[in-house]
Amino acid sequence: MINITINNNPFQVEDGSTILDAAKKAGVHIPTLCHLDMHDFKMVNRVGTCRVCMVEVEGRRNLIPACSTVVAEGMVIRTNTIRAIKARRTIVELLLSNHPKDCLICERNQNCELQSLAAELGIREVKYQGYQSHHKKDTSSYSLIRNAEKCILCRRCETMCNEVQTVGVYSAVNRGFETVIGTAFDLPMIETACTFCGQCVSVCPTGALTLVDNTAEVWAAIYDPEKYVIVQTAPAIRAALGEVFQMPVGSRVTGKMTAALRRLGFDLVCDTDFAADLTIMEEANELLDRLKNNGTLPILTSCCPAWVKFIEHQFPDLLDIPSTCKSPHEMFGAIAKTHYAQKLGIDPEKIVVVSVMPCLAKKYEAARPELAYGKNSAYVDYVISTRELGSMIREAGITFADLPDEDFDSIMGESTGASVIFGTTGGVIEAALRTAVYWLTGEKLDKIDFEELRGMQGIRSATIDVQGTPVRIGIAHGLGNARALLEAVRGGEKYHAIEIMACPGGCVGGGGQPYHGNNIEIIKQRADALYQEDKDKSIRRSHENTEIQRLYEEFLETPGSHKAHELLHTTYTKREKI
């Protein structure tokens, strides 16, 4: 520990801390913009590009950046002198001088760190008028839009994509005023190795990276009298949607969400959790098949489309190990437009399936040709994120907090606790084990909370004893961790099953979730909400879902049947590395 003084108050802090960390511990607020700090997920951006955190240090002539300066014994720091405040204001005024300032129509309006900082610093005019940089928007992908005109060159996206996700899509090109964050060879996003995880969108402080908004198409489908619009919601939505309406983080809003969807005008309100249970039936069956018949091990979960695209680009030699199961919302779409279309007596061409997902990669996934059932005929028509659903609810003037709790509709609406935890890292493999162990041993385990698989550590492993047979499980969240785990597998490390989710924390931290301000406590509290919902469910194992049992009896026959393969499984494609 060393002794410092911050704003005239003596304080002890660990040696090696930055001034910013020390100030935080001392309860002193220093504004930041480029800084990004989520140590649990190894996400630290302290490139010091924006200079918003300038402070005065006794004995130093110039102001210094708090985020990238390490404290020294006896250091006397002043964070709120008129000189420091003026410098911050000038820096933000200069940033605004080269910004479109179309806040009223920006997706980040009221949710933008640059806007908040301008307000915090009391900026009331744009002092500096001059040349503005102009760039073409990149709207090539199904998932995200790049608008370099709103970029403040903070480099958070670079840190996220290159260091945390190890995908390496972005880097700064050109110099000085011409500097822009670009892709290799200026390729449009759709042609890069981008996985569409959306994590760069989550950390971008401005409207430079935003999602592709599909709400207009969904409204059009709802108001089309010829269409029968079925909506499904992923597990992670219920643990985060409340945040859009200022409810406490970690609020479970399953019932209110269902009520809101009905009031928006959807014809059938269903739960992707139903399809998560279906995924477990197919995936657990595939695991057992590989275990019994000396199949390729480990089996890798395949419900995260960003992770699937990552392995297709980065590890094409390992494409025989992921499970062939489609992701739950795609399974849902396939069953909705076949079996249930028939049961409801509706022409599948008139059915529109809308998925509400925490995820931007699922927008891209819905357009994958191998998941379609004919030219231009996708099983899932539109994917909207938690944020987009929040906007639709607001647009419709629904007072979300006052809604009563309502249930999902009774087809494709029943779900178990196992399916709910799909939304967090470790949840998919825990859900699969609850069923696989039962099928292997015929024993209904008393203990179905596999605590050893839970937590937020980036890479985890555990060995589960299944009647004397050790089953080794690996878990990774965040693509950098996935890369490390896959390299270990390539190097000969033995696992039976591995779960991978692209987003730090899993889907609760997905790129389409409400902005979490880089606060990992928020991601943890969303995960806790899902574990609590699992605990509160009367049925907690996927194979006990009565609607799923009926689906197999009436239509699919058995897990892994020919019909199941036709509708619920898929194939993978080798792709370029860049």
557 in catalytic set? no
Taking the least distance from each CB to ligand SF4, the nearer of 6 and 240 is 240
* Amino acid making up residue 490: R
323 in catalytic set? yes
499 in catalytic set? no
Minimum CB separation of residue 212 from ligand SF4 in Å reads 12
What residues between 494 and 513 interact with ligand SF4 by CB under 6 A?
501-503, 506-507, 510
17 in catalytic set? no
Structure token digits, residue 212? 């592709």
Which one of the spans 24-32, 237-245, 299-307, 532-540 is the region binding ligand SF4 (CB under 6 A)? 299-307
Let me know if 532 is exposed, middle or buried by CB neighbors in 10 A (0-12, 13-18, 19+): middle
What residues between 330 and 389 interact with ligand SF4 by CB under 6 A?
358-359, 361-362
Q: Give the SS3 label for residue 518.
A: coil
What residues between 199 and 218 interact with ligand SF4 by CB under 6 A?
199-200, 204-206, 208-209
Nearest to 420 by CA among 239, 212, 164: 239
CB 321 within 8 A of CB 308: no
Q: What angle do CA 306, 365, 557 make, to 5 degrees?
A: 105
Phi/psi at 216 (5° precision):
-60, -40
CA distances from residue 82 to 10, 120, 362, 437 in whole angstroms, order as listed: 21, 15, 48, 65
Beta-ladder partners of 95 = none
Nearest to 527 by CA among 445, 460, 457, 435: 457
Does 195 contact ligand SF4 by CB under 6 A? yes
Minimum CB separation of residue 165 from ligand SF4 in Å reads 5
Taking the least distance from each CB to ligand SF4, the nearer of 322 and 560 is 322
CB 193 within 8 A of CB 578: yes
Place of tokens 């605990």: 535
How much helix, strand and coil, in percent to the nearest 5, is found in the chain? 45, 15, 40
Q: Name the active-site residue from 107, 149, 312, 365.
A: 365
Does 152 contact ligand SF4 by CB under 6 A? yes
CB 504 within 8 A of CB 477: yes
For ligand SF4, the binding residue among 197, 221, 260, 264 (CB under 6 A) is: 197
Which one of the spans 95-103, 190-198, 369-377, 457-465 is the region binding ligand SF4 (CB under 6 A)? 190-198
370 in catalytic set? yes
Minimum CB separation of residue 323 from ligand SF4 in Å reads 14
Taking the least distance from each CB to ligand SF4, the nearer of 75 and 383 is 383
507 in catalytic set? yes
Does 167 contact ligand SF4 by CB under 6 A? yes
Phi/psi at 53 (5° precision):
-90, 25
Active-site amino acid positions: 283, 286, 303, 323, 362, 365, 370, 507
Q: Which residues bind ligand SF4 (CB under 6 A)?
A: 144, 151-157, 160-161, 165, 167, 169, 181, 194-200, 204-206, 208-209, 304, 306-307, 358-359, 361-362, 501-503, 506-507, 510
